[in-house]
Amino acid sequence: MAPVEEIRSGTVLPAIRENIELRTSDGLTLVGELAMPESGTPVATLVALHPLPTAGGFMDSHVLRKASARLPALADVAVLRFNFRGVSSPRGESEGEFGEGVEERHDLQAAMDFVAERGLPHPWLLGWSFGTEVALKWGLEQPVEGVILLSPPLRRTTDEELARWAGSGKRMVAVIPELDDFLRPPEASARFAVVPETEFVAVEGGRHLWVGEAQTYRVLSEIVARVNPEALPLPTTF
């Protein structure tokens, strides 16, 4: 019998991992990775949209990297990560230049085209910080189950853009850290009131970057609670 090991920050659990490229409608090649359950049959798909590139965000930003490292094995979830235009990571560099959340609409479309081509089931947009802005501005027209928003700053998303989600039939989950640098629960509750069906999660002691295993575990649990609740509670050993 294989030994039981504690899941730690650097743990990478078994999955089928594939380096992929996405081609945008404006002619750019983006680099990324698809992580699938070893069975090859996911119950849902996360399309991960990373934090602000000009502040160091990329496809390996830790919550998204850990989602890819753990959730295919722990929750039978496929995780698609990629670098937005102009962003580099150990996987490589995506072509183009930072688009202030506007031109990235083409990047999101390329990712969703890939999801459709592969027939990946029940896609959700998983945005973190800047990634939530891309999801909120451009995700409503996409064939997704919903959006999971980690530390949404709502700096590039207007109230009008947010309000468009009301009554859309797509789920919206806002995970707000108590000690966020940009948008804390009281203000977030007021801003998200224009979408009454928002599933609002205020995380006591949480911070914008979700540093530490306890915060990572909480965030991953909130994600899985929406996309495959039968997989909860997430194991802490493997």
CA separation for the pair 131, 101 (Å, rounded): 8
Q: Tell me, rounded to whole angstroms, the distance of Cα 167 from its chain centroid.
A: 22
Residue 60 resides in a domain: yes
Residue 34 resides in a domain: yes
Give the model's confidence band at 3: pLDDT under 50 very low, under 70 low, under 90 confident, else very high.
confident
139: domain CATH number? Answer: 3.40.50.1820
Per-residue model confidence (pLDDT) at position 4: 87
**Beta bridge partner(s), residue 124:** 46, 146
Residue 85 resides in a domain: yes
Question: What is the tally of structural domains in the chain?
Answer: 1
Residue 10 resides in a domain: no
CA separation for the pair 77, 148 (Å, rounded): 14
Instruction: Give the angle subtended at the CA of 95 by the CAs of 93 and 101, to the nearest 5°.
Output: 100
Residue 8 resides in a domain: no
Instruction: Provide the domain limits for residue 200.
Output: 16-230
**Beta bridge partner(s), residue 162:** none
Q: Is 142 left (phi over 0), alpha (psi -120 to 50) or beta?
A: beta
CA separation for the pair 71, 207 (Å, rounded): 22
Report long-range pairs for 26-29 (Cβ below 8 Å, ≥24 apart): 26/103, 26/106, 28/85, 28/94, 28/95, 28/96, 28/106, 28/107, 29/94, 29/95
Full-model pTM: 0.97
Per-residue model confidence (pLDDT) at position 1: 58
Residue 98 resides in a domain: yes
Residue 236 resides in a domain: no
Tens digit of each residue's pLDDT (9 = 90 or more) over 151-203 = 999 999 999 999 999 999 999 999 999 999 999 999 999 999 999 999 999 99
Tens digit of each residue's pLDDT (9 = 90 or more) over 97-130 = 999 999 999 999 999 999 999 999 999 999 999 9
Q: Is 127 left (phi over 0), alpha (psi -120 to 50) or beta?
A: beta
Residue 5 resides in a domain: no
